[in-house]
Amino acid sequence: MTAPPRHSSAANADDSDGALRAAFRAAFERELGLSTQGATAEAALRAAAAACRDLLAERWARTQEEDAGPDGQRVSRRVHYLSMEFLMGRALGNALAALGLEAELRDSLAARGHSLPEVLEREHDAALGNGGLGRLAACFLDALAEQGLPAFGYGLRYRYGMFAQAIEGGRQVEQPDDWMKLGEPWELPRPELRYPVGFGGQVVIGADQRHHWQPAERLVAQAFDFIVPAHHSGHVATLRQWQARAAEPIDFAAFCEGDHAGAARHLVAADALNWVLYPDDSTDAGRALRLKQEAFLVSASLQDLIARHLREGQPLATLGARNAIHLNDTHPALAPAELMRLLLDEHHLPWDEAWGITTRAVSYTNHTLMPEALETWPVALFEQLLPRHLEIVYEINHHFLEEVRARFPGDEARAARMSLIDEGGAHHGERRVRMAALAIVASHRVNGVSVLHSELMVQTIFADYAALWPERFHNVTNGVTPRRWLAQANPGLSALLDTHIGTAWRRDLGQLAALNTQAADVALGAEFMAVKRANKQRLAERIKRELGLVVDVDSLFDVQIKRIHEYKRQLLNLLHVVARWQAIVDDPQADWVPRTVVIAGKAASAYQAAKLIIRLAHDIAATINDDPRVAGRLKLAFLPNYGVSLAETILPAADLSEQISTAGTEASGTGNMKFALNGAITIGTWDGANIEMAEAMGIENMFVFGLRADAVAKKLAEGYRPADQVRDNRQLQRVISAIASGTFSPGEPGRYRPLTDHLMAVDKYLLLADFADYVATQARVDALYRDRGAWAERALRNVAGMGWFSADRTIREYVERVWQA
């Protein structure tokens, strides 16, 4: 049974259009009047945000009252979504759309000489996430609100995000993303919500025979709320973020003795927990900080959950039945151990009852097929920071391995593979806690995020667990919110859809299918291409403003935007750019389809190969963009500091969407969905959600290339020899030679030998094996783009096929199969 919205209208007593506009206008005028700098665009932004926040806070209060139900007898199960990141993007545009106040603010700003776009551009992206994992979490909060479900997202309040990416001399340079330097007008401090979190120390057995953890370090988790509104009701979801505070004030004696730094050392250490998302874990200190962040998140969140449950007058026995705890990947996988600690040590439940509550509440989404990406922690570090949790993990493992051995008697190799403790086989003798295994054992449901990913998950990394509990594993394909990624990001296309198929798609994205019957209409195609060109013009202006590069808006915009990683194969994209450049230089008189290649994405600060790929992109761009022989028919633009707001400019402008990961490596992808929703055609491998997209829109409407997952596995098993691919392909030889010999780095000829040598010797992600098919498929792209009418028809069929890929559908599937909300 699906979960319909529980609020059919936003028109509650104080939400009538007139009252809402009047309340907003009064609050906006009041806040603007407090500005010491007059009615500047920045002051207008802060005033509008404060006015919207106050209105949303009223909706929040009503939502909490309604979600609790009469006398605490809530009907729906409350969802608690734990994630290390939530990539929310800018908030003002979304709030105005949800409240229906865009026109009101536009008029107020015009009276003061400002435009709405000018003010919206002043807002910084909230640096609470980095990539697809965080953006998915943000889409889910939006959909939870839209579906009218009682829901909290739980994360950390990062002061500097992961980092702000600058480019200096073609190199990525990481800088603090100081997004809150002028304050954060959207958050609602909750000073009354404070929970203790401990680290280190020892565990003693008391006279009561209970375990008593005596932490050596004590912090306090302080709550800050960010409200996520529905767009078609008065319901909201809550993103609750935790800020670490020291449990004790300054050491006053040390301060008086002149040791000012020492007096505050513990305050700085506590604050550092919130400084950076995914701190560099190549050092012992970095690894310890990451584990502390994860423990801090789950402890504060679960204490908050339990306190709310008890505050509603409910017994602990119903905690699992009334609350769903969902783990977004392995980062919050400590949650089962922490929940057991709270139930056992703080609330004195017996083991079996606590474990029953835990397994009924907890579920887990896996986002990777790469064994090296499944988090594990050294037992020694766990024991140092979380001694009580380690005891609980050992106890969970003891009961679990009893079940394994009973089911598979005599198979000690299987028991060793499945154990929550890796005894050292995979880590050079170092014992480690397997966090994904802990999440699986403690969850009643475990899902992948595309059909292929879920199939491979139970065939490869989790095969042993699936053999034990086949019913526990299932698939829920990801989705994206159409409210931000179509209605807000692409108002031109949204208006076109309203005109031709009506507005029902705004509530039910499946209504996009009605576009299929009109996709071949020549007039509609022309209108679509005019909207696309206007979006391309906007992106071209940004490229010129940020890079000083002039691009042809009538060229094919070929786009790849995602975090830089070898498996995502930005390097394959660059190999094609070089091949194309060489071909144009060889035959400059040919009728080349002009192409602008746009790349954006961050590389992890310690990921040297990815950072070298970014530098190569810049060196290639420096060579080809000013080559007179190319005459502007090929340009490469790398836009720095990729984030949600930049994506909102890029996605509507893209003609071609690059989704070219090695088959079997991308769990799902959501960028692929956003591109297609905005009328870009995909060139991609048979991987992740590309497959389901092709099936939904018709494979003939996607440019599919490359080896499929089974062929990749077979080639690697047979002994893949990448050098043979180069030997047998003259075009590929020239490309590799140009990069390796310093054509793009004449001052340092060997700069890119680490990349080319690795390709020739290893090529783990089979770039060279897929190169020829990729280049041939790009030629098919050129051929279609020459016929703009045919291109428009295929692009419109992409849009029409995206109805199923709404986050609203994804959330309904979680409700039906996982949360029973």
Q: Which residues are catalytic?
A: 367, 562-563, 568, 670, 674
> Is 638:600 a contact under the CB 8 Å cutoff?
yes
Going by C-beta distance under 8 Å and a sequence separation of 6 or more, which residues neighbour residue 336? Answer: 358, 362, 396, 438, 439, 441, 442, 443
The first and second tokens of residue 665, run together, are: 């490596």
Q: Rg for the chain (alpha carbons), in Å? A: 27
- Tokens for 645? 């707001």
Angle at Cα 278 formed by Cα 276 and Cα 284, nearest 5°? 100
Distance, in Å, from the CA atom of 799 to the CA atom of 702, rounded to the nearest integer, reads 12
Strand positions, DSSP E, 382-510: 421-422, 432-434, 446-448, 473-475
Of 481, 644, 650, 693, whose CA–CA distance to 560 is shortest?
650
Q: What is the maximal distance between C-alpha atoms in the chain?
A: 90
**DSSP code of residue 806:** B
615: tokens are 């530098």
Residue 15 identity (one-letter amino acid): D
Tell me if 84 sits within 8 A of 218, measured CB to CB. Answer: no
**How remote is the C-alpha of 155 from its chain's centroid?**
13
Token digits of residue 85? 């990141």
- Residues 199 and 216: their CA atoms lie apart, in Å, by 6
Nearest residue to 399 via CA among 351, 364, 366 = 351
Contact 561, 165 (CB under 8 A): no
Instruction: Report which residue type is found at 217.
Output: E
Taking the C-alpha atoms of residue 525 and residue 129, their distance in angstroms, rounded to an integer, is: 37
Q: For 191, which DSSP code?
A: E
Which position has the token pair 């060889």? 586
- Per the CB < 8 A criterion, the answer to whether 328 and 133 are in contact is yes
- Say if residue 191 is exposed, middle or buried (CB neighbours under 10 Å; 0-12, 13-18, 19+): exposed
Please give the C-alpha separations between residue 494 and each of 88, 420, 500, in angstroms, as whole numbers. Answer: 21, 49, 10
What is the Cα–Cα distance from 666 to 123, expressed in whole angstroms? Answer: 32
Instruction: Determine the Cα–Cα distance for residues 27 and 115; give it in Å rounded to an integer.
Output: 19
- Residue 628: exposed, middle, or buried by beta-carbon count in 10 A (0-12, 13-18, 19+)? exposed
Q: Is 684 helix (H, G, I), strand (E, B) or coil?
A: strand
Q: What is the residue whose two structure tokens read 């497959």?
A: 691
CB 161, CB 177: distance < 8 Å: yes
640: closest CA among 35, 167, 193, 215? 167
Following CA atoms 590, 596, 600, 603 in sequence, which dihedral angle do they give, to the nearest 10 degrees?
20
Whole-angstrom Cα distance, residue 134 to residue 151? 17
* Distance of alpha carbon 539 from alpha carbon 652, whole angstroms: 9
The DSSP 8-state label assigned to residue 77 in this structure reads P
